[in-house]
Amino acid sequence: MLPILLLCFLLPSSHAADFCVADLMGSLTPSGYQCKVESAVTTDDFVFTGLGVVGNTSNIIKAAVTPAFAAQFPGVNGLGISAARLDLAAGGVIPLHTHPAASELLVVTKGIIVAGFISSANTVYYMTLHKGETMVFPQGLLHFQVNGGGTPAVAIVSFSSPSPGLQITSFALFANNLPSALVEKVTFLDDAEVKKLKKVLGGTG
């Protein structure tokens, strides 16, 4: 009898936490989301169906990013991984951007994509990629993807963080209220170009 009683006490605490499914009621912190209580975790937390859905490319960049980060895919929280789908219509571009928290692995699944990154030494590494071809973008570095053909292109990307972050350079410069005079100073661009880009991207000042 005693050994069975002992087992009952020991079993619940004898397994380590296998996962930390995001509790999306809480907020995202640098160390991720808090864990959902295990009794509330379901298979759905570990499944994301959005990467099979064509993104809406009717926008200024003629492209769409469908993230499967912890915020959309709670099961990846705490696991050091996530994914996304890129759709690039003909003429589409994912503008120069960085993921501060993750390296990225891109696999072209349809069409042709010109992809590249710029190192801290300002060396450019870029390549025209076809279906099945893969490129990696090291953590934090500026990179881009451009449709290299006349037909829609698709890529599946994976990240070395459940919350890679995303900062698009042109939006950081021209889609906010940083005064034009300062933007001109920090970029060496002329006033006309800065005002034009602010207008296109929704910036003020």
Ligand X SMILES: *[C@@H]1O[C@H](CO)[C@@H](O)[C@H](O)[C@H]1NC(C)=O
Q: Which residues bind ligand X (CB under 6 A)?
A: 56, 58
CA-based angle 41:157:62, to the nearest 5? 115
Nearer of residues 61 and 107 to ligand X, judged by Cβ: 61
* Cβ-contact 145, 115 below 8 angstroms: yes
The phi, psi pair for 8, rounded to 5°, reads -60, -35
Residue with smallest beta-carbon separation from ligand X: 56
Task: Output the smallest distance, CB 74 to ligand X, in A.
Answer: 25
What is the closest distance, in whole angstroms, from the C-beta atom of residue 198 to ligand X in the complex? 21
Distances in whole angstroms, Cα of residue 175 to Cα of each of 88, 181, 195, 198: 22, 15, 11, 6
- 187 token code pair: 């970029």
Which lies closer to ligand X via its Cβ, residue 60 or residue 181? 60
Give the nearest distance from C-beta 202 to ligand X in angstroms: 14
**DSSP H/E element including 117:** strand 113-118
- Least distance (Å) between residue 59 CB and ligand X: 6
CB 64, min distance to ligand X, A:
9
Residue 15 marked ligand-binding: no
Output the CA angle 76-77-79, nearest 5 degrees.
Answer: 65
Q: Which residue has the tokens 């380590």?
A: 16
Helices then strands, each counted (H, E), the chain: 4, 10
Would residue 121 be called left, alpha or beta, if left means φ above 0 and alpha means ψ between -120 and 50 degrees? Answer: alpha
State which residue, 56 or 167, has the beta carbon closest to ligand X: 56
Q: 130: annotated binding-site residue? A: no
Choose between 31 and 58: whose C-beta lies nearer to ligand X: 58
CB nearer to ligand X: pick between 89 and 112: 89
